[in-house]
Amino acid sequence: MSKQDAGNANGTGAGATSGARKGAASKPKTDSPFGGLTIDFGRGGGAGGGGVAPALPTIQIAEAPPSAVPATGGPATQPAEQGRTESKLIIVGSGPAGLTAAIYAARANLEPIVLGGTTPGGQLMLTSDVENYPGFPEGIQGPELLALFRAQAERFGTLVLDVDVDAVDLSGRPFRLWARGVEYKAESVIVATGASAMWLGLESETRLRGRGVSACATCDGFFFRDREIGVVGGGDTAFEEATYLTRFASKIHLLHRRDTFRASKIMVDRAKDHPKIDIHTNVVIDKVLGDEKVSGVRLRDTETGEQSEMPLDGLFIAIGHRPNTDAFRDWLDVDEKGYLIVRDKTNTKIEGVFVAGDVHDHRYRQAVTAAGDGCMAAIDAERWLESQGITEATTLTAW
């Protein structure tokens, strides 16, 4: 099941399988924590005659080239110096936004350091099938996609560290960040810490994530065509998710713990009028039922305490997201929901500090939009560093 392709945010990468292009020389394995992954786009067969289009390229996971080999179209890569703590650019976060920013920054010779967190990879690490990220016609596992992001960033010399940022000082340059007692310094910073979906906190819910439990209707609604599903929540997000899911599911049960809603009246009325949506108030979920996949939920009436079971094929948790901004709230502006506020695309009120991905985007929360944000933030950071004389301006760009 896919997820925030989002993100919409919250690791280890999937294992690699060798499969180098036929006729290619054998290459030594790398020590990348994700197994040294690259993609081989070797095309099977020649171009057909008589107006027949060539077959789609076969996607294979191949062993990565040695880090000293020049990367086609970019600067020669060098092994990252594992002990370095200073850089022109530090990126906080290792989801699609942070790792895309790292790819672009490394190709511009900024030698970025990524402080990726102790649970790196963002919300894609919690998913299985991702079918809406471009370039993978057969879909790809969320952890595998993030492994490829990371391998590509490291290929160009990015240093990725799986540590949480505990504190920052953005009062002046170089900016200072602390993680596990180590101080890191940089002339510029990209904040790409993402947002985490809020969950019910049930053991059964955690166990069945990716097996019928989801927090993203946009990502996973397709998998529930002609199925009966539940949506938990009482705000605009829950009603939007329920309405969106009517295009796939045969029946949606909207489950809310109160008898009043935080959602706007127009959203509530729209749901009440929809023949596919049944609204259940004053109920909470005590347990998500199912062994290998969701088969239903055990409900409890908040007024009478009476329990009942409802058969379902899937359950969408729509009680909100929490932006991961704790370390930056004292320095950067946040909106009423706690998301970072950007100015002019990716800039913040502090020159040299940029923002990308779900840590500011609470509208789209897709991996592809986060990756686009990361690209923009890296370009903005590189151009800002040039304007400060920290890096040399060039007429040829690495983008």
Catalytic residues: 216, 219-220
Burial, 203: exposed, middle or buried (Cβ in 10 Å; 0-12, 13-18, 19+)? exposed
Structure tokens at 54: 């060539």
Give the whole-angstrom CA distance, residue 110 versus residue 220.
37
- For residue 164, what are the CA distances in angstroms to 115, 179, 181, 248, 301? 7, 6, 10, 39, 40
DSSP string, 342-398: PBTTTB-SSTTEEE-GGGT--S--BHHHHHHHHHHHHHHHHHHHHHTTSS---SS--
Residues 6+ apart with CB under 8 A from 231: 217, 238, 241, 242, 245, 252, 253, 254, 255, 315, 316, 318
Structure tokens at 86: 């200073």
Structure tokens at 185: 């310094």
Q: In what order do the strands lie in the sheet with 283-289?
A: 283-289, 296-301, 307-311
